[in-house]
Amino acid sequence: MPSTLFEKVWNAHTVRRLANGQTQLFIGLHLIHEVTTPQAFDMLRARGWKVRFPDRTVATVDHIVPTRDQQRPFLDVMAEDMLSALERNCREAGVPLYDLASGAQGIVHVIGPELGLTQPGMTIACGDSHTSTHGAFGAIAFGIGTSQVRDVLASQCLAIEPLKVRRITVNGPLARGVYAKDVILEIIRRLGVNGGVGYAYEYSGDAIARMSMDERMTICNMSIEGGARVGYINPDATTFDYLRGRTFAPQGDGFERACEWWRSMASDPDAKYDDEVVIDAAAIRPTVTWGINPGQSVYVDEAIPTAHDPLGNSQASIAEALKFMGLDGGAGIIGTRIDVAFIGSCTNGRLSDLREAARIVRGKHVAPHVTAMVVPGSQPVRAAAEREGLDRVFIDAGFDWRGAGCSMCLAMNPDRLEGNQVCASSSNRNFKGRQGSPTGRTLLMSPAMVAAAAVAGKIVDVREFTNGD
Ligand code: SF4
């Protein structure tokens, strides 16, 4: 039977089908961090259970780390307690921890691929919604809650409902100034923030095939924002080239054998899908969110919706979003004044993102009223950027150059919006209060668009910034 990658990976990892319709899946890799694990480890301890497969469990610290002063103990007592608990739990369970002293610390969805832990054909779980990122490698990767983290620690298994598969084919060239972030925002705008509920998204088409692994990770990362439980891309030569030589990738002859198996896990050409969507990449323009969910977006040269949005927002949700954001329906998003510019996160905090943003700001300066920061997704990203001199480009342009972490993506650390500040952000969520202030406002866009907004002090069309390069 021709099968999708999703079906092949699912079947290969099925332990048994449960009476309630769920499947007990074996999890190949469990990524853990400081926020969703303390209670899970406590629950294990209370029952006298051990971590079943410490060698399939890998930890890092990302959400709560300060990005400016990383001296221990942290000034924030709760953050210090969380990290101390993770250190103790990892030590007792024999789980490797990539901490601040490791040189490999960073956002969990950045370091997994960097270390070569994330591989095609795997099942991966992590107590963070954006675990879908790892699907870029042809893995099936689930974001899970604290009680499921406990289950995976105890049994290396997850009880989970099967998913349907929707193939989203993106064909055609991307126009200048249009990035993977714009493609995924377009997909979410078209299909809705709940459009993927019950589905795995398989991304395909020549536009996806041409993307680097960094770009593919941006696409898969935001699958969850479209309601899909997982998103994935079939592994190919780009995937294998990225993995070759990485610390935990198979080495020598083993790598070639692994490539053969990885190739066999890709969806068969005649596989059947539960739904199919085709997107014309050439029609996508730089995109900015105007509302309070990632589906509420417009092209930078379009007007913000008014009472009726043909793409599915109700009148009430448009009115609520416009009121919260302080924006006028019918006006252009272009020219919206910003207070803060944030480049980072597991969506867009990788080296290629920083290179692209640096290209925009080189020789320019951040607007006087804007606070701008660049937060590399990991210590290796930061080190690589510094080797290329990108730190100097950003610092000379007036950006703060920070240590690795989640930072202002969700503000569980000192990086937070204040009052009703407006932030141009390369992250993935624009929910009310997401960036720390209950009245803070977030506009999602590509790192290049954030860089251009930082310089202009307002939302501008990045295509004009790249003219004449
Ligand atoms: S960067 Fe944001 S979305 Fe990604 S893991 Fe950190 S908090 Fe979650």
The model's pLDDT over 92-151, given as tens digits with 9 standing for 90+, comes to: 999 999 999 999 999 999 999 999 999 999 999 999 999 999 999 999 999 999 999 999
Instruction: Classify 224 as helix, strand or coil.
Output: helix
Spatial CA neighbour of 59 closest among 104, 96, 100, 101: 96
Q: How far apart are CA 126 and CA 60, in angstroms?
A: 11
Task: Read off the pTM.
Answer: 0.97
Ligand 1, atom 4: closest residue by C-alpha? 346
Nearest atom within ligand 1 for CA of residue 109 = 5
Q: Is 388 left (phi over 0), alpha (psi -120 to 50) or beta?
A: alpha
Q: Which residues pair with 288 in a beta bridge?
A: 298
Atom in ligand 1 nearest the alpha carbon of residue 410: 7
- For residue 48, the CA-to-ligand 1 centroid distance in Å is 31
Question: Are the C-beta atoms of residues 222 and 183 closer than 8 Å to each other?
Answer: no
Residue nearest to atom 2 of ligand 1 (CA): 409
- pLDDT of amino acid 468: 41
For a substitution probing ligand 1, which of 220, 428, 431 has the most ligand atoms within 8 Å of its CB? 428
Instruction: Give the whole-angstrom CA distance, residue 435 versus residue 409.
Output: 6
What is the model's pLDDT at position 309? 65
Relative to the CA of 377, which ligand 1 atom is closest? 1
Cβ atoms of 114 and 380 closer than 8 Å: yes
Q: Provide the pLDDT for residue 310.
A: 57
Identify each DSSP E strand in 216-343 by its residue range.
Answer: 230-233, 275-280, 287-289, 297-299, 340-343
Ligand 1 lining (C-beta closer than 6 Å): 62-63, 107-109, 128, 130, 345-346, 406, 409-410, 427-428
Model pLDDT, residue 314: 80
Q: Starting from the edge strand earliest in sequence, which strands make up the sheet with 23-26, in order?
A: 14-17, 23-26, 157-160
Low-confidence ranges of the chain (pLDDT < 50): 467-469
pLDDT at residue 313, rounded to an integer: 72
For residue 87, how many other CB atoms are within 10 A of its CB? Answer: 15
